[in-house]
Structure 1
Amino acid sequence: MSSVSTRVKIGDALGMLLTKELPGRFTFYDGSSIGTGEIPITLHLKTQRGLAYLLTAPGDLGLARAYVMGDLDIEGVHPGDPYEALVLLYRNLKFRSPTPAEALQIVRGLGWSNLKPPPTPPQETLPRWRRTVEGLRHSMGRDAEAIHHHYDVSNRFYEMVLGPSMTYTCAVYPHDGASLEEAQNYKYDLIARKLDLKPGMRLLDVGCGWGGMVRFAAREYGVKALGATLSAEQASWAKEAIDREGLANLAEVRHSDYRDVLETGFDAVSSIGLTEHIGVRQYPAYFGFLKDKLRPQGRLLNHCITRPHNHRQETGAFIDRYVFPDGELTGVGRIVTEVQDIGLEVMHAENFRLHYMRTCAAWCQNLVDNWDECVAEVGEGTARVWGLYMAGSRMGFELNEIQLDHVLAVKTEGGVDGFPLRSNTWV
């Protein structure tokens, strides 16, 4: 093993490439450091393996690998909510590209052995180009594997992080002081009002998760609701909840691909947090399928994370490999276009970006409050992934790098849409 201390100090090597001084601190196992310490947050690289992660995957992916494996610690924030540290890094840890001569000098000084990639953390899935063993992107088999990777972690873990609602989508806060549970309940009620649900109606909820919308529609609106999820863990939990709440006569959750739902003639369809997993190229088939499930004048509510633009942009390496394999985002304009192009009439669109920022902050607080039990349930590495992901998402919503949009559409036939002249039922 090479000794960095007899060659080039890690802090010196990184410091020569920084474009601005770091107001926090970044310390290294060889005793070197960078940063002023003005902000009381310190990143500490503990091992040579951690250095190899940084050098072989420069940027977010290398930092994430070292952090998940415990080779990089962050002092001054809780691992369940590293939001302040991520803001510090986002604003201040900026590097310029080294010249070829500088790059050679740094690598020689730090040691060539550090360019051998260490094993990736067990929480990391294969890169996109190596997932073809599971099938083509967004085939049923590959989608099932992607959903399994993220959602079949542990129902108990999700209970601690998400809270009693077991709802893993953006909440809608009716007022500043609303709790997460109030906001999740309000979100479901808002969707029900947008869909104009009434007793005796039939609702299809695709990608239903733990059955939150299915159970709410059945319990509060007397709707006969069917949900479909690719996660076996979610379906099992949802079925127990339905039985526990005495809703079996109205509510059903199936462990199945939404494409396997054969019933038609639904009064309403809700898609809450599924479109992110569909793939942009599959939108025509996806929205066409949902349209075919509706009766004339039936309504569709699509709730999903979006980008603030409609250009093609691949998901970042950390999110793709650790959180949502094969996930794809686009702008609400693209979603509206695709919904219109398959023949539905778009009636309403609404942006809830800042509501998702608050939702992520609440989830992080739940993780902090239940940290020891969460670590005991899934291991510290996985718990660190979740803290990093949710805090990073909070920052993304805050900076308007990602958004959350509702698109409400109707199956208009013969010019009849079933809406009043001007609807205000959801205001």
Structure 2
Amino acid sequence: MSKASLGARGSTARSGTDLGTLFGRFLGSEAPVAIVGYDGSFAGAEDAPVRMEVRTPTALSYILSAPGELGLARAYVTGHLDVTGDLYQLLRTMTSVVDGLSVADRLWLLRQVGLGHLRRVPVPPEEAPGRVLRGIRGLRHSKHRDSAAISQHYDVSNRFYELVLGPSMAYTCACYPAEDSSLEEAQFHKFDLVCRKLGLKPGMRLLDVGCGWGGMVAHAAEHYGVRALGVTLSREQAQWGQKEIVARGLADRAEVRHLDYRDVPETGFDAVSSIGLTEHIGARNLPAYFRFLGSRLNERGRLLNHCITRPTNSDPNHTGPFIDRYVFPDGELEGVGTIISAMQDNGFEVRHSENLREHYARTLAAWCANLDLSWTEAAQEAGVRRARVWALYMAASRLAFERHKLELQQVLGVKVADDGQAAIPLRPDWGV
């Protein structure tokens, strides 16, 4: 990652106690991570494959002034805390270390580091305001505020996303058909799986809400002969997606619009796909969301909802402070039971649910590898700090899926006809 100089280094807050000694007490000699202090101290094995460098006293101020993930993120994004080696491995190790700290351990560490580090430091400009201050943009999940939130994350640089996502430009969980499948094969398989679950056939009409760069729209039009409309709140995504559709010769049956899904005027669709949009909807808005999608469907039309979910319905919906401030402002995650209940209560019969949790961990690992390989160009495109945000959140998200802190659920619903017909095969296997 970035190795930009941050100027002169200071001394530890408490004389006689170096940072290496402090961190070494909790790290352990067998950990695959070493810690280097700005005072020249060292903790961990000399040959550790990953090193975390606390480069300046400001790093400690960030960490102590906003304890937990937000302070660590600020220190890393600004470069006052640096990492050499695999960021995912560092998070995996340090999460275990932090989880093992008792209250007494934390208080001891705070006393040793020194209260002088509890000073206010500038918030990085890449950080969005807190939820309360964001209220000036409008009510949570209003059209204006949603547009601002989506723009912050997605309108970074299409070239940056090309480097991270690869040729598919699919920014959602892939589905790996085999252990040795590539990311591109897995993204193709994911789109194909959605098409099969939706029962797409030539001449049908598909609406893809939150369509991103149009991957699902193009796949359905090209391989299943449907007429497809995709809508996205990101202007850059829409421009890239429509250009790609024209380049692939699909403009006669596929379109990507810069449009809020709530403003889609057309009805009479045979299928709706929602891949990675529900995270931006909000728990309170789920009923209206599913009612609207149902209003766009013909009888016996199907909806495939693909989204990140919580492991339980009792988990909080709001994301943590790092994700909320740096990645997906106003994002919310619900348990799959909440999603299913909202579908059932608002016009859909639920016919199938599938958890692709391990597939998302593997997808994120592939994106992290792409970013590492293209780091120099990616950092030039989006800026070093923004690239660090993506590196951190993708590595942390991979760990969250692996540790079952998050799930990825595909839920298939059908708008049953008045006579009870659902037009679903008796025992569908989706061709897999």
Shorter-chain TM-score above 0.5 = yes
* Match in the other structure for 2:362: 358
1:120-139 to 2 correspondence within 5 Å? 120-139=123-142
* Distance in 1, Cα, partners of 2:36 & 2:27: 18
SS where residue 192 of structure 1 aligns? helix
Match of residue 249, structure 2, among 246, 251, 258: 246
Q: Which runs of 5 or more structure 2 residues have no equivalent in the other structure?
A: 1-8
- Rate the CA distance shift 1:14–1:320 in 2: closer, same or farther, 3 A: farther
1:407 CA displacement? 0.3
Secondary structure at the residue paired with 1:128? Answer: coil
What is the match of residue 47 of structure 1? 56
Alignment of 1:68 with 2:77, yes or no, is yes
Alignment deviations for residues 218-277 of structure 1 (CA, whole Å, 9 cap, x no partner)? 111111101110000000101111111111110111101100001111100000000011
What is the aligned partner in structure 2 of residue 11 from structure 1?
19
Please say if 1:425 is aligned against 2:430. Answer: yes
Deviation at 1:42, TM superposition (A): 2.1
Q: 1:145 corresponds to which residue?
A: 148
Tell me the equivalent position of 2:339.
Answer: 335
Deviation at 1:103, TM superposition (A): 8.0
Quick check: 194-203 or 49-58, which moved more?
A: 49-58
Secondary structure of 1:4 counterpart:
coil
Amino acid at match of 1:96: S
Give the 3-state SS of the residue equivalent to 2:302 in structure 1. strand
CA, structure 1 residues 296+21, in 2 after alignment: closer, same or farther (shift >3 Å)?
same
Offset of residue 102 of structure 1: 5.4
Distance 2:96 2:46 in 1: 15
Query: Which residue in the other structure is 2:404 paired with?
Result: 400
Spell out the pairing of 1:262-411 with structure 2 (5 A cutoff): 262-313=265-316, 314-411=318-415
Aligned position for 1:196: 199
Amino acid of the structure 2 residue aligned with 1:86: L
For residue 96 of structure 2, the aligned residue among 91, 94, 114 is 91
Question: TM-score, normalised to structure 1's length?
Answer: 0.93
Superposition TM-score, scaled by structure 2 size: 0.92
Task: State whether residues 2 and 111 of structure 1, in contact with CA within 8 Å, keep that contact through their aligned partners in structure 2.
Answer: no
The answer to whether residue 33 in structure 2 is matched with residue 30 in structure 1 is no
Distance apart, 1:21 and its partner CA: 7.1
**Contact 1:336–1:346, Cα closer than 8 Å, also in 2:** yes
What residue identity is the alignment partner of 2:374? N
Distance 1:237 1:64, change over 3 A: same
Asked whether the 8 Å contact 1:4–1:111 carries over to 2, the reply is no
CA-CA distance at 1:424 after TM superposition: 2.4
Identity among equivalent pairs (%): 54
Match of 1:422, as an amino acid?
Answer: R
For the 8 Å contact 1:194–1:426, the answer to whether it is kept is: no
Task: Indicate how the Cα distance of structure 1 residues 17 and 301 shifts in structure 2: closer, same or farther if over 3 A, else same.
Answer: same
Displacement of 1:281 in angstroms is 1.0
Query: CA 1:88 to 1:219, structure 2 compared with 1: closer, same or farther past 3 Å?
Result: same
CA distance in 2, matches of 1:103, 1:16: 11
Q: Deviations over 1:269-314 (max 9, x none)?
A: 0000000110011100001111111100000000001111111412
Query: Aligned partners of 1:16, 1:173: CA distance in 2, in Å?
Result: 40
Letter of the aligned partner of 2:168 in structure 1?
S
Amino acid at match of 1:276: E
**Between Structure 1 and Structure 2, how many residues are aligned?**
420
Equivalent position amino acid for 2:52 in 1: L
Alpha-carbon distance change, 308 to 244 in structure 1, aligned in 2, over 3 angstroms: same
Higher relative contact order (CA 8 A, sep 6+): 1
Could you tell me which amino acid in structure 1 is paired with residue 75 of structure 2?
A: A
Q: Distance in 2 between matches of 1:224 and 1:16?
A: 61
CA contact (8 A) 1:206 1:269 kept: yes
The SS at the match of 2:73 is: helix
Q: Is the 8 A contact 1:21 1:92 kept in 2?
A: no
Q: CA deviation at 1:178?
A: 1.1
Report the 3-state secondary structure (helix = DSSP H, G, I; strand = E; otherwise coil) of the residue aligned with 1:391. helix
* CA separation of 1:100 and 1:258: change in aligned 2, threshold 3 A: closer
Task: Give the superposition deviation at 1:75.
Answer: 2.5
